[in-house]
Amino acid sequence: MTMQSDIGLIGLAVMGENLALNMESKGFSVAVFNRTTAVTEKFAATRGKGKKITPTSTIEEFIGALKRPRKAMMMIKAGKPVDQVISEVVPLLEKGDVLIDGGNSLFTDTQRRFHDLEGKGIHYIGCGVSGGEEGALKGPSLMPGGSREGYELIAPIFRKIAAQLICEAYAILKNVLGLEAKDLADIFAQWNRGALESYLIEISAEIFRKRDPDTGKALVDVILDKAGQKGTGLWTLQSALSQSVVISTINAAVEARVISSRKEERVAASKILPQPQVPTFSGNRDELVQAVHDALYASKIVSYAQGMELLGAASTAYNWNLNFGDIATIWRGGCIIRAKFLNRITEAYARDPKLHNLLLDQYFTDIIAKTQHNWRVAVSTAINYGVAAPAFSASLAYFDSYRSARLPANLLQAQRDFFGAHTYERIDKPGIFHTDWIGDQPAQEITEPKPTSKRHAGE
Amino acid sequence: MTMQSDIGLIGLAVMGENLALNMESKGFSVAVFNRTTAVTEKFAATRGKGKKITPTSTIEEFIGALKRPRKAMMMIKAGKPVDQVISEVVPLLEKGDVLIDGGNSLFTDTQRRFHDLEGKGIHYIGCGVSGGEEGALKGPSLMPGGSREGYELIAPIFRKIAAQLICEAYAILKNVLGLEAKDLADIFAQWNRGALESYLIEISAEIFRKRDPDTGKALVDVILDKAGQKGTGLWTLQSALSQSVVISTINAAVEARVISSRKEERVAASKILPQPQVPTFSGNRDELVQAVHDALYASKIVSYAQGMELLGAASTAYNWNLNFGDIATIWRGGCIIRAKFLNRITEAYARDPKLHNLLLDQYFTDIIAKTQHNWRVAVSTAINYGVAAPAFSASLAYFDSYRSARLPANLLQAQRDFFGAHTYERIDKPGIFHTDWIGDQPAQEITEPKPTSKRHAGE
């Protein structure tokens, strides 16, 4: 048997050819198929020559050439041709295989196909590839363009941040209330029947119930608290920074993972650094559980608000022309995120396609109004009990900054004008001003801000 | 009069030539001088041809060719030649000019020269340029190498973060206690006589005292709370992430600046988002002032701990061979940060040159032990009053994570093993394990972690 390919591509028009070459250049072996076999042969003999590209002449041969679970992408004309290929390919696929439509299919067609194949256990993903031929060949991601890029960018981040937020809820419940895994299982199972319903909450409840046969303890309690640290979210971060988007909750979650990865160092530090005097919790258990629930819910909304804003900025910067309503639905389609919460996001963008920040949509504003008191209770309790809740804290600080008409940056501007004559603006009139802070000279109105520093800035 | 140059370079051996070309390639105009004029002329006519490089034939002409405040760098043989050039150059310089030694001078010589010139108001900076000829020409920073690189990397970050931490202290005092600028001036002046003594605290006190002649109000109260948002700290962040160093306080401060820059959006959001129900403060005013003081002090220490750790990681990654004690002294020399606090850092690294985290030095551990209760009081008060204190919160969460032998990442690992068979480690025995979470299969010990996902991960 010959070596099987990592991915398959159906349809060798220019976009398809370029995408196949792009994938191959990223280190993937690619099986290719075109209805007219001569096209396939020509491609393999010319642009595909000497590359890990396997030409196939029948759909059967094509599917047989793919590693399992199979990943096949269609780069064919939207409409009937897609349905035709699906009808030929699907009988040959197995549960767990992935079929991707890279063409410009109507969103409603994609939804229909997704639902048709869902029952067969086949993952169907619709993602228009944009960027033209050049984009297909040289695009910065494996599959450049449109909603797909947004999906690639954000989906794993949301998943990771949601996992981390859940860990903070767990830490507060465990460390402040001293709850055992079995109590936590009940709480999470209950949460999964309400507003927090999600795959990760559901499996967390199952995790808390699992016993370790070796020790008889809850298995979660014997698992090492050391997350892997890969370059998670790095690109997102860079991108966010260069676009001045604040993704503090995402940053905090990434940093929490990094600190967790330094287990040996933490164990050593725990013996040197002063531990806080932690009082026994004397409040109402159920109230704190509800406060933690609300903190998790509100923080999750903030994380989505930040992520969607990042997507918006990226869409503008890279001319992706993202349609936010579609994106939320595509995620849902991809089974990545449960439907209920995403429906709310889709609805928010349907109400206002230009919605700048998810928090400003009435539905989410209302949730924040209902949860904010408890959110503060949970975070301040964590702080007073010495339980690290960096992502909860960052989310709350983001909310408190974002809803503040006045922040203390006026002092910052005054300092910069003091030490470096960087000038400032006023709240009561337009213009750019510089003050002689030590002497008695009247404030100067400056037409152009002075870029030079008077002296090295002090600490 | 001809156009003056941004910076000057004395000494056109290969390193000097390359550094001049490097600076010029970064957009700076460079005046050059070499004792042997023929060398200068040849350089200008060959490698420097067609570039913004101005050859000069006397020291007087060289100094005259520089924009004020002048920045001149010596790339000459260490020892007597440096003292000789200093003696010729200094009479031509003015207060506020900067003289940089890019050679391999002894640290003690640099200290002596620094002190000699300090009295004349001339900034003297010693920084060995490493990376050889190639580094000089193509180095990633304007002035590659050694301690200088660390200095370039970290000094502006510390300054900015200190400014931002002070703003958070100001916000809590102003918003929770309702203090006026004149009260704040007194508090900051008092702080400047204690452990927080620093240039920025000192000028903040002066800023709070300044009246606005137009309105009769405190000037700080009419300044717009909108910080400029340039790519601050971007490289630091990227570098930190790629090296898995956590700089959460620095991130939070940068993000706070970004949010402040979005003034119009905040004003709009403040009218839509629910404001918290803020009780009138009924505690002891002086106690909260002290709590805020302690929070600022502890957060500042955390910011330095993170920054020094970042420097350490960068030093390892880039083979800078940084000597941390020297760096602290060079900063002090550069007037960037006041002596007292930096002396403690220098001493900590003198006690233990391999000190991994500043918090673990006894001197700093003791401060944290004394301040941590108040730190928690200040941050939880901010949270309950709806005052955004992102950098204080991030610092405290960092401390609480770092001193925790056990973090909730065990749940994260369990989730990942549940949805993607990513395996986990245990706290009670070595090995890599995978559990069949839903079924009844016993846990498997795995030699090599499985990289493949069973299914798409849920939210």
Would the pLDDT of B100 be above 90? no
Indicate the range of A56-70, A72-86, B19-33, B144-158 predicted with least confidence: B144-158
Name the residue among B59, B95, B61 with its Cα closest to residue B74: B59
Asked if B434 and B416 touch (Cβ cutoff 8 Å), the reply is no
What are the chain B neighbours of A410 within 8 Å (beta carbons)? 220-221, 223-225
Among residues of chain A, what percentage have pLDDT more than 70?
79
Q: Is residue A285 part of a domain?
A: yes
- For residues A74 and A62, give the distance between their C-alpha atoms in angstroms, rounded to a whole number: 12
**What Cα–Cα distance (Å) separates residue A207 from each residue in A171, A186, A218, A219?**
15, 11, 9, 8
Q: Do B159 and A390 touch (CB under 8 A)?
A: no
What are the chain B neighbours of A67 within 8 Å (beta carbons)? none
Name the residue among A246, A233, A379 with its Cα closest to residue A302: A246
pLDDT bucket at B277, cuts 50 / 70 / 90: confident
Q: Do A390 and B401 touch (CB under 8 A)?
A: yes
- For residues A281 and A381, give the distance between their C-alpha atoms in angstroms, rounded to a whole number: 10
pLDDT of residue B97: 83
- Whole-number mean pLDDT of chain A? 83
Average pLDDT of the segment spanning B226-252 = 68
Q: Do B96 and A198 touch (CB under 8 A)?
A: no
pLDDT bucket at A242, cuts 50 / 70 / 90: low
**What Cα–Cα distance (Å) separates residue B421 from each residue in A45, A219, A403?**
40, 15, 41
pLDDT of residue A422: 85
pLDDT of residue A204: 96
Q: Do A428 and B215 touch (CB under 8 A)?
A: yes
- Residues A278, A283, A285, A287: what is their CA dihedral angle, to the nearest 10 degrees? -120
Q: How many CB atoms lie within 10 A of CB A180?
A: 13
pLDDT of residue A122: 83
**What are the backbone angles phi and psi of residue A312, rounded to the nearest 5°?**
-60, -45
pLDDT of residue B154: 58
pLDDT of residue A152: 52
pLDDT of residue B160: 79
Name the residue among A53, A67, A62, A57 with its Cα closest to residue A17: A53
Would the pLDDT of A278 be above 70? yes
Residue in B246, B388, B405 nearest the CB of A255:
B246
Q: In the sheet where A123-126 sits, what is the strand order?
A: A53-56, A30-33, A7-10, A71-74, A98-101, A123-126
Name the residue among B314, B383, B362, B257 with its Cα closest to residue A394: B383
Q: Do A435 and B338 touch (CB under 8 A)?
A: no
Average pLDDT of the segment spanning B324-353 = 66
What are the chain A neighbours of B435 within 8 Å (beta carbons)? 210, 219
Residue of A nearest to B453 (CA): A69
pLDDT in tens, A280-329: 999 999 999 999 999 999 999 999 999 888 777 766 765 556 667 666 55
Q: Do A225 and B167 touch (CB under 8 A)?
A: no
Would the pLDDT of B35 be above 70? yes
What are the chain A neighbours of B231 within 8 Å (beta carbons)? 241-242
What are the chain A neighbours of B298 within 8 Å (beta carbons)? none
What are the chain B neighbours of A428 within 8 Å (beta carbons)? 215, 222
Indicate the range of A38-42, A218-222, B134-138, B450-454 predicted with least confidence: B450-454
Are B91 and B151 in the same domain?
A: yes
What are the chain B neighbours of A68 within 8 Å (beta carbons)? none
User: How big is the CA angle at A140 (ends A56 and A43), to the nearest 5 degrees?
Assistant: 25
pLDDT of residue A174: 97
Higher model confidence: residue A250 or residue B93?
Answer: B93
SS3 A4: coil
Residue of B nearest to A436 (CA): B210
Give the range of the structural domain holding residue A339, as residue numbers without chain letter. 166-402
Q: Do B244 and A225 touch (CB under 8 A)?
A: no
pLDDT in tens, A43-76: 999 999 999 999 999 999 999 999 888 888 899 9
Higher model confidence: residue A310 or residue A37?
Answer: A37
Indicate the range of A395-404, B16-25, B255-264, B266-275 predicted with least confidence: B16-25
Higher model confidence: residue A224 or residue B131?
Answer: A224
Distance from CA of B353 to the nearest CA of A (A): 17
Write down which residue in A106, A131, A161 finishes a domain. Answer: A161
Average pLDDT of the segment spanning B111-123 = 79
Q: Do B337 and A226 touch (CB under 8 A)?
A: no
Q: Report whether the peptide linkage leading into residue A276 is cis, meaning its omega lies within 30 degrees of zero.
A: no
Indicate the range of A111-120, A411-420, B407-416 predicted with least confidence: A111-120
pLDDT of residue A426: 96
Name the residue among B152, B98, B103 with its Cα closest to residue B128: B103
Q: Is residue A448 part of a domain?
A: yes
Q: Do A174 and B389 touch (CB under 8 A)?
A: no
Residue in B69, B394, B409 nearest the CB of A394:
B394
What are the chain B neighbours of A267 within 8 Å (beta carbons)? 405
Token pair belonging to A340: 């209920």
Higher model confidence: residue A181 or residue B23?
Answer: A181
pLDDT in tens, A140-169: 223 323 344 445 555 666 777 899 999 999
Higher model confidence: residue B161 or residue A153?
Answer: B161
Residue in A270, A277, A415 nearest the CB of B404:
A270
User: How big is the CA angle at A381 (ends A376 and A386), to the nearest 5 degrees?
Assistant: 130
Distance from CA of A300 to the nearest CA of B (A): 11
pLDDT bucket at A279, cuts 50 / 70 / 90: confident
pLDDT bucket at A131, cuts 50 / 70 / 90: very low
Burial of A439 per CB tally in 10 Å (0-12, 13-18, 19+): exposed
pLDDT of residue A137: 57
Would the pLDDT of A233 be above 60? no
pLDDT of residue A98: 81
**What are the backbone angles phi and psi of residue B8, rounded to the nearest 5°?**
-120, 150
Q: Is residue A1 part of a domain?
A: no
User: Which helix or strand (DSSP H or E) is residue A174 part of?
Assistant: helix A146-177
pLDDT in tens, B51-66: 999 999 999 999 999 9
What are the chain B neighbours of A407 within 8 Å (beta carbons)? 167, 171, 225, 256, 259-260, 266, 388
Q: Do B213 and A443 touch (CB under 8 A)?
A: yes
Q: Is residue A190 part of a domain?
A: yes
Indicate the range of A305-314, A410-419, B387-396, B400-409 predicted with least confidence: A305-314
Asked if B253 and B236 touch (Cβ cutoff 8 Å), the reply is no
Are A155 and A236 in the same domain?
A: no
Residue of A nearest to B223 (CA): A426
Q: Is residue B80 part of a domain?
A: yes
pLDDT of residue B176: 97
Asked if A338 and A329 touch (Cβ cutoff 8 Å), the reply is no
pTM of this structure: 0.72
Are A206 and A353 in the same domain?
A: yes
Are B284 and B365 in the same domain?
A: yes
pLDDT bucket at B318, cuts 50 / 70 / 90: low
- For residues A313 and A301, give the distance between their C-alpha atoms in angstroms, rounded to a whole number: 18
Q: Do B251 and A248 touch (CB under 8 A)?
A: yes
pLDDT of residue B133: 57
Residue of A nearest to B438 (CA): A206
Q: Do B383 and A396 touch (CB under 8 A)?
A: yes
DSSP notation for A237-253: HHHHHHTT---HHHHHH
- Whole-number mean pLDDT of chain B? 83
Token pair belonging to A376: 């503060």
pLDDT of residue B363: 96
User: What CATH number corresponds to the domain at position A427?
Assistant: 1.20.5.320
Indicate the range of A60-64, A130-134, B169-173 predicted with least confidence: A130-134
Residue of A nearest to B173 (CA): A408
Would the pLDDT of B369 be above 60? yes
Are B127 and B188 in the same domain?
A: no
Average pLDDT of the segment spanning B422-446 = 89
Would the pLDDT of B229 be above 50? yes
| A97, A255, A292: best to mutate for the B interface, most B CBs within 10 A | A255
Token pair belonging to A435: 């003050």
- For residues B316 and B416, give the distance between their C-alpha atoms in angstroms, rounded to a whole number: 32
pLDDT of residue B129: 55
What are the chain B neighbours of A270 within 8 Å (beta carbons)? 403-405
Write down which residue in A368, A384, A402 finishes a domain. Answer: A402
Would the pLDDT of A40 be above 70? yes
Indicate the range of A111-120, A184-193, A275-284, B176-185 predicted with least confidence: A111-120
Residue of B nearest to A338 (CA): B459
Are A241 and A320 in the same domain?
A: yes
Residue in A384, A401, A405 nearest the CB of B376:
A384
User: Which helix or strand (DSSP H or E) is residue A56 part of?
Assistant: strand A53-56
Q: Is residue B1 part of a domain?
A: no
Higher model confidence: residue B334 or residue A76?
Answer: A76
Are A171 and A211 in the same domain?
A: yes
Would the pLDDT of A227 be above 50? yes
Residue in B171, B229, B407 nearest the CB of A260:
B407
pLDDT of residue A106: 67
**DSSP code, position B218:** B
Q: Is residue B227 part of a domain?
A: yes
Would the pLDDT of B169 be above 60? yes
Are A250 and A364 in the same domain?
A: yes
User: What CATH number corresponds to the domain at position B143?
Assistant: 3.40.50.720
pLDDT of residue A194: 94
pLDDT bucket at B145, cuts 50 / 70 / 90: very low
pLDDT of residue B239: 56
Higher model confidence: residue A254 or residue A427?
Answer: A427
Residue of B nearest to A68 (CA): B452
Would the pLDDT of B42 be above 80? yes
Would the pLDDT of B134 be above 70? no
pLDDT of residue A413: 95
**DSSP code, position A433:** E
Q: How many CB atoms lie within 10 A of CB B49?
A: 9
Are B19 and B86 in the same domain?
A: yes
Write down which residue in A161, A185, A201 finishes a domain. Answer: A161
Would the pLDDT of B284 be above 70? yes
Q: Is residue A421 part of a domain?
A: yes
Average pLDDT of the segment spanning A124-131 = 60
Asked if A114 and A333 touch (Cβ cutoff 8 Å), the reply is yes
What are the chain A neighbours of B222 within 8 Å (beta carbons)? 426-428
Would the pLDDT of B132 be above 80? no
Would the pLDDT of A340 be above 80? no
Residue in A274, A335, A359 nearest the CB of B273:
A359
The tally of domains found in chain B comes to 3
| A383, A418, A454: best to mutate for the B interface, most B CBs within 10 A | A383
pLDDT bucket at A6, cuts 50 / 70 / 90: confident
Indicate the range of A419-423, B46-50, B145-149 predicted with least confidence: B145-149
Average pLDDT of the segment spanning B275-283 = 90
CB crowding B88-108: b at 16 or more within 10 Å, else e? ebbeebeeebbbbbbbebebe
Are B224 and B337 in the same domain?
A: yes
Are A413 and A447 in the same domain?
A: yes
pLDDT of residue A116: 84
What are the chain A neighbours of B424 within 8 Å (beta carbons)? 223-224
Q: Do A276 and B372 touch (CB under 8 A)?
A: yes
Distance from CA of A45 to the nearest CA of B (A): 33
User: What CATH number corresponds to the domain at position B290?
Assistant: 1.10.1040.10
- For residues A187 and A395, give the distance between their C-alpha atoms in angstroms, rounded to a whole number: 23
Residue in A168, A222, A387 nearest the CB of B428:
A222
Say how many CB pairs under 8 Å bridge A and B. Answer: 428
Are A219 and A275 in the same domain?
A: yes
Residue of A nearest to B203 (CA): A415
pLDDT of residue A240: 57
